[in-house]
Structure 1
């Protein structure tokens, strides 16, 4: 078994207080703590930027984990691996010895492994009479297991930030396209307005988009672009409303010219479709069935649609989001998976959803598709509802895919789902809904 005394470095490497603190932190492992070493390594890879380690250092950590005989890292078992430099170099894809030592030092400095040097600086194991390990000298994986919770939370937060950044970039791309095409349409159709000035402002905003975009520097630019798009849409809608009176007057004139008070079809429309209808009735019916472009535009406006310039196939909107307090009231179990065991913002909710959807067995592709259709915030709320309902849902991944398909068709809303959970918890809520 491992000894818990402080080990000082062999050779000329000095001992520092920081090294002592890292050793003590590595020993502070709660009893019964276990982790699958490959799942934990995946979390380390996702949290690489926060841990300040390089991809080559992760290659060395991968090689060290292969020397640990079990799949589960456990504080009850020895966590020291003792490979030779030659064997470690082979499993690190043939890395040179000098490069190997440099990246081992990076892992030690990052607090992922710790050195446990022998009296002569060699790595070896001393076994007892029964064949068990009495003492092992090499590299300890205890710091990695001690920081497992911290690393997993950091990886979940980075994954949530990456998802939010992807959503911001998609919104920014759509907004850029909308503004460019709306300005082009306004100029081509001679809509009154200072479109040259708006185009210059648009180009000035685009030039401020940084190459290394992140949530902090991209969100303000997106807000400016969305405000510009809203301003352009308002100008175009105002122009459409100004065109409506003249179109209505021309429609009234055509209606007076086309009306025939002596026609029997005005009083007996059923005769028009009969076999014995007179030829003059059929001619009058065909004349009134012809519709001009202005008639079509007025008919679209009367039916609640937009003008012909902006008419298009209706798109399903994303489900309406609800206040965070309401989500947590209906689904309190999600709070256990937030940073620090609590959820204080929508960002914390999305971070917890990343952890929970993996725990529930929802595939990354199903989760990403739901985020692209419903948005990261609404998807996090759905994951919280699935977690709260527990055993009622046999296949969380299939259930989420079904909700995503319904949301694409505009047939899904979050309100009924949240209210159903609230009614199940408190029957008095049914009287308020």
Structure 2
């Protein structure tokens, strides 16, 4: 049987409260940190309940040693058997969180001399308090990891929803959903997100890719390049205007889109802003919308959104069809003015 005594000296008995390590005021903050980070130290909920009971015996200014008997501790825990309590205490001792100071008869008590020397026999929690910073840091790291897990999981779910809109019943999406049913580490979530990003990049209807242009270093070449770009832009705008209907015709025929407008649509600026708001509701990604605006013009892109919404159930996948008529194989043949004329005359139109 180990026999260890802890003694301290003082100038008087009335200063005895300052002899031993006093319980810090944030002891329960330390406890909550260890409770949240228990998995990092191999602790179970039962261990945490035992520690909570031990801490409840401490009193401010009375040191950090628990003198209660095993029977009293078991009662405070909630009636656990003494063998379980001993196993829990041994676990804390092995982890260096509790120090056991046993008296010759294994009773727990404190004695002091007339000159202020103190001997305490019991369960000392001073090792736990000395490691407070370690527990607080571990809890903070686990909380940050949890937040990252939640954030990455939400990104994965958004990606899966996008895949479902483009490719309903995708085997890849179903497999990924089965994987995220269990709790994953941050690295595993990142790996899944990378796989989803790569899968989306391979799908023909996803065009959320930034197209970069390398400019020449020569000043003269830069000027010529800018001049040519300006000329191409004007020619593109002119061609776009030839294919566009009037605002009045667009709003009169596409009543489904205008019904969602918060105010009257009188100009193309109003049309473009409203189309940009409608696109995400139809499953059209912002990157795809902006790329289409850059390639075929903002007015033609906005008109495409209005027309597709008006066609309603005739279009099974808005995102895929939007890509086809603005960035895909039907881009050259998509003429909003002609389609609107047909919509205004016939009840069924195939774009």
Q: TM-score with structure 1 length normalisation?
A: 0.45
Aligned pairs for 1:134-149 within 5 A: 134-149=118-133
Q: Aligned to 2:80, which of 95, 99, 104?
A: 95
Describe the shift of the 1:133–1:306 C-alpha distance in structure 2 as closer, same or farther (beyond 3 A): farther
SS in structure 2 at match of 1:136: strand
> Which residue number corresponds to residue 42 of structure 1?
32
Describe the shift of the 1:162–1:233 C-alpha distance in structure 2 as closer, same or farther (beyond 3 A): farther
Aligned pairs for 1:282-361 within 5 A: 291-293=252-254, 303=272, 310=279, 312=281
Aligned pairs for 1:266-285 within 5 A: none
Instruction: State the Cα distance separating 1:157 from its structure 2 match.
Output: 0.5
> Which residue number corresponds to residue 217 of structure 1?
188
1:168 aligns with 2:161: no
Q: How many aligned positions are there?
A: 230
> Which residue number corresponds to residue 134 of structure 2?
150
Instruction: State the Cα distance separating 1:115 from its structure 2 match.
Output: 0.5
- Pick the structure with greater CA Rg: 2
Is the CA contact (8 Å cut-off) linking 1:52 and 1:110 kept in structure 2? no
Describe the shift of the 1:101–1:89 C-alpha distance in structure 2 as closer, same or farther (beyond 3 A): same
Describe the shift of the 1:87–1:207 C-alpha distance in structure 2 as closer, same or farther (beyond 3 A): closer
> Which residue number corresponds to residue 56 of structure 2?
66
SS in structure 2 at match of 1:291: helix
> Which residue number corresponds to residue 43 of structure 2?
53
Q: Aligned to 2:199, which of 228, 231, 237?
A: 228
Instruction: State the Cα distance separating 1:34 from its structure 2 match.
Output: 3.8
Q: Distance in 1 between matches of 2:277 and 2:112?
A: 85
Instruction: State the Cα distance separating 1:60 from its structure 2 match.
Output: 1.0
1:113 aligns with 2:82: no
Q: Distance in 2 between matches of 1:201 and 1:235?
A: 16
> Which residue number corresponds to residue 2 of structure 2?
9
Structure 1: unaligned runs, 5 residues or longer: 1-7, 11-30, 185-195, 239-246, 256-286, 318-433
Q: TM-score with structure 2 length normalisation?
A: 0.54
Instruction: State the Cα distance separating 1:180 from its structure 2 match.
Output: 0.7
1:80 aligns with 2:65: yes
Is the CA contact (8 Å cut-off) linking 2:35 and 2:48 kept in structure 1? yes
Describe the shift of the 1:289–1:127 C-alpha distance in structure 2 as closer, same or farther (beyond 3 A): closer
Q: Deviations over 1:54-111 (max 9, x none)?
A: 11111111111111111x7xxxx63221111121111111111111111111111222
Q: Distance in 2 between matches of 1:308 and 1:235?
A: 19
Q: Distance in 1 between matches of 2:78 and 2:22?
A: 34
SS in structure 2 at match of 1:99: helix
Is the CA contact (8 Å cut-off) linking 1:47 and 1:158 kept in structure 2? yes
SS in structure 2 at match of 1:303: helix
SS in structure 2 at match of 1:53: coil
Is the CA contact (8 Å cut-off) linking 1:301 and 1:307 kept in structure 2? no
Structure number with greater CO (CA < 8 Å, separation at least 6) is: 2
Instruction: State the Cα distance separating 1:152 from its structure 2 match.
Output: 0.8
Describe the shift of the 1:154–1:183 C-alpha distance in structure 2 as closer, same or farther (beyond 3 A): same
Q: Aligned to 2:164, which of 150, 155, 180?
A: 180
* CA RMSD of superposed structures (Å): 4.2
> Which residue number corresponds to residue 111 of structure 2?
126
Q: Distance in 1 between matches of 2:208 and 2:26?
A: 59
Is the CA contact (8 Å cut-off) linking 2:23 and 2:63 kept in structure 1? no
